Amino acid sequence: MHFHSEMPRRLVDVDARLYRASVMEAVIAADAIMLGHRCIYIDPALAESPMLREAIERRRARHAVWSRVFDWVGYLALAVLLALTFIVR
Domain residue ranges in the chain? 2-88
Q: In Å, how far are 19, 23, 29, 46 from 41, measured between CA atoms? A: 19, 11, 14, 7
Residue 76 has what pLDDT? 97
Residue 14 has what pLDDT? 76
Residue 58 has what pLDDT? 92
10-residue mean pLDDT profile of the chain (89 residues): values are 73 79 82 79 83 89 94 97 87
Non-local (6+) Cβ contacts of 52 within 8 A are 24, 27, 28, 46
Residue 17 has what pLDDT? 75
CA distance 21 to 46: 16
Residue 1 has what pLDDT? 67
Query: CB–CB of 59/34 below 8 Å?
Result: no
